[in-house]
């Protein structure tokens, strides 16, 4: 697969990078409000329009759910508001529509930063053996895996964050009884699609790269269009995030523009990555 190599470290002064660590609370709040407002508008469109526009609305809602997980990721690093309690609370409710336990997500993500591409990495570090393997990973992952754990013994939640997931389950069951069609269009379908988008956009971040001391050599940033970056909470600048995890996501475009680090795996687009990866794989696994 073809990747653009950006090797010159220039212009990125320590003072400029330090300034980018400041939490943009107002911009974060406005972006989050707009995403939630857009999701609500798309939900109305999905319920009131025909199949064509409804399908597009559901697809866009799935993309927004994937972006909300990236906003929750900023809460992991205390970069949404900068307040530990507030970020923890917001992170839990941003993860709730995806039925993700935020404290588990936080622990796994911080461990990923410590052990990226190593044996203790919490993210998948394998490679695909065939096109079928790739398609199964992308489209047939089980987004409901592990949901039963929050209800073990029906006693008090065993893990931090399980109470929020339980509450979400109860709310969804109530909505299923009252408005099943609306629940399908406004949550269930976007939920499944959102998890597909999460895998689609996260796979290029490290796939095929090996553990190295230099984070830029085992992490990809991806050039993407402004609309996708807006909906995905600027998550495409992943190499910069690994090098400076304290920089809020909405400041990552400015950090990228500083050219403050070498980017040997800067990729020209998500679709190109997946297209070239798919073509590079055999039809079937070799036995």
pLDDT of the chain, 287 residues: tens digit per residue: 555 544 444 444 788 999 999 999 999 999 999 999 999 999 999 999 989 999 999 999 999 999 999 999 999 999 999 999 999 999 999 999 999 999 999 999 999 999 999 999 999 999 999 999 999 999 988 777 766 666 654 555 556 777 888 889 899 999 999 999 999 999 999 999 999 999 999 999 999 998 888 888 899 999 999 999 999 999 999 999 999 999 999 999 999 999 888 888 899 999 999 999 999 999 887 66
Count other C-beta atoms under 10 Å from residue 106's C-beta.
22
């Amino acid at each position: 697969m073809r990747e653009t190599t950006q090797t010159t470290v220039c212009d990125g002064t320590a003072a400029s990078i330090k300034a980018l660590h400041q939490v943009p609370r107002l911009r974060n709040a406005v972006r989050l409000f707009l995403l939630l407002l857009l999701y609500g508008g798309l939900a109305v469109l999905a319920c009131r329009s025909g199949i064509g526009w409804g399908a597009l609305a559901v697809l866009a809602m799935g993309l927004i759910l994937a972006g909300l997980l990236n906003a929750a990721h900023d809460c992991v690093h205390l970069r949404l508001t900068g307040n530990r309690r507030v970020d923890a609370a917001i992170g839990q409710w941003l993860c709730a529509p995806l039925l993700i336990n935020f404290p588990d997500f936080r622990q796994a993500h911080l461990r990923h930063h410590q052990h990226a591409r190593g044996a203790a990495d919490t993210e998948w570090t394998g490679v695909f053996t065939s096109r079928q393997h790739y398609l199964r990973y992308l489209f047939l992952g089980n987004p409901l895996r592990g949901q039963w754990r929050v209800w073990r013994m029906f006693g008090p939640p065993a893990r931090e964050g399980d109470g929020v997931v339980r509450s979400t389950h109860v709310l969804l069951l109530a909505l299923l009884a009252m408005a099943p069609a609306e629940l399908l269009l406004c949550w269930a379908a976007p939920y499944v699609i959102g998890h597909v988008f999460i895998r689609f956009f996260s796979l290029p971040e490290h796939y095929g790269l090996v553990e190295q001391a230099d984070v830029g050599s085992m992490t990809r940033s991806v050039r993407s269009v402004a609309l996708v970056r807006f909906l995905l909470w600027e998550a495409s600048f992943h190499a910069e995030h690994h090098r400076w995890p304290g920089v809020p996501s909405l400041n990552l475009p400015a950090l990228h523009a500083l050219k403050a680090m070498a980017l040997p795996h800067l990729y020209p687009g998500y679709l190109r990555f997946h297209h070239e990866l798919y073509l590079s794989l055999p039809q079937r696994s070799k036995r």
